[in-house]
Amino acid sequence: MKTDIHSHILPALDDGAISLENSIELICAMKSWGFERITCTPHINALYRNTPDSINRAFELLKNEAENRGIDIQLRMSAEYRLVPETWPHVIENKWLMPIEDRLILMELPISKPQEMGWIKPLDEFKRIITMGLTPVLPHPERYFYLSEKELMKYVEAGVKIQCNYGSFAGLYGSEAQRNAEHIKNLGIISYYGTDMHNMLYVKTIGDWFRQGNPIAELEIR
Ligand SMILES: [Fe+2]
């Protein structure tokens, strides 16, 4: 099934869609590319302190609007959990984990400042998730320029699945991220691809890339 496991299309919850109308616009673009299912994964981080309640409210709003407009696409709800002391411990304590496809947990690192993780050690947290019977997924490692290949391979060996962004291959985040994405692909460690959809620039860049003949990855649903 053509499924996106990473997107910021819920209205006004984070740095993604700014309104319900904008959410619908993003969904329609993704549907036109061939996506059949989209997982909404708003940020839970120091800046956007979302909870399952806030996410669920926006999700129901968008789901109803899409249904009312007759847009035939499956929507699912989860989150993108950042490993920072401001939110991650609350996620664990309050059982705020909402697995994608009943098993995947998107666990992102800070994009450019690893010190924002404070006392949190990513490998320990990935292992914690595995002992809970879930699968940690590291989104867009190609964008963490501070992350060494050695460290990345340690995560993979521990059971972390790798998700790269379509946009990275399309040049959305610049040439370094693009080169890193190609390199990670050549390492043969990518399990998932995601749109990480935020706004119309993503629509333009990723849309052009698909129109050039690049395919949507199929996700096997258990
Ligand atoms: Fe994201």
- Any domain includes 219: no
- Any domain includes 220: no
Return the pLDDT at 32: 97
Per-residue pLDDT tens over the stretch 40-52: 999 999 999 999 9
Backbone torsion region of residue 175, taken as left when φ is above 0, otherwise alpha when ψ lies between -120 and 50, otherwise beta: alpha
Confidence bin at 157 (pLDDT 50/70/90): very high
CA 121, 127, 131: angle at the middle one, nearest 5? Answer: 145
Average pLDDT over the chain reads 97
Tokens of 213: 């003949």
Spacing, Cα 6 to ligand 1 middle (Å): 6
Spacing, Cα 193 to ligand 1 middle (Å): 12
Spacing, Cα 121 to ligand 1 middle (Å): 20
Q: Are 172 and 198 in contact (CB under 8 A)?
A: no
Mean pLDDT, rounded, for 189-215? 97
Per-residue pLDDT tens over the stretch 90-107: 999 999 999 999 999 999
Spacing, Cα 80 to ligand 1 middle (Å): 6
Spacing, Cα 8 to ligand 1 middle (Å): 6
Spacing, Cα 64 to ligand 1 middle (Å): 23
Per-residue pLDDT tens over the stretch 167-187: 999 999 999 999 999 999 999
Residue 47: Cβ within 10 Å count:
11
Mean pLDDT, rounded, for 69-74? 98
Taking the model in full, what pTM does it have? 0.97
Q: In what order do the strands lie in the sheet with 43-44?
A: 43-44, 80-82, 104-108, 135-139, 161-165, 190-194
Given a cut of 70, is residue 222 above it in pLDDT?
no
Mean pLDDT, rounded, for 48-70? 98
Q: Side chain identity at 84, as an amino acid letter? A: V
Residue 100: Cβ within 10 Å count:
26
Domain limits for position 182 = 3-211
Return the pLDDT at 221: 60
> In the chain, how many domains are there?
1
- Any domain includes 218: no
Measuring CA to CA, how many Å separate 37 from each of 16, 70, 125, 219? 18, 15, 28, 10
Spacing, Cα 14 to ligand 1 middle (Å): 10
Return the pLDDT at 219: 83
Packed helices 122-131 and 149-158: angle between N→C axes, nearest 10 degrees: 10
- Any domain includes 222: no
Spacing, Cα 131 to ligand 1 middle (Å): 24
Per-residue pLDDT tens over the stretch 92-149: 999 999 999 999 999 999 999 999 999 999 999 999 999 999 999 999 999 999 999 9
Mean pLDDT, rounded, for 76-88? 98
- Any domain includes 216: no
Q: What is the CATH number of the domain that holds 129?
A: 3.20.20.140
- Any domain includes 78: yes
Spacing, Cα 152 to ligand 1 middle (Å): 18
Please measure the distance between the N-terminal and C-terminal CA atoms of the chain and give it in whole angstroms.
Answer: 11
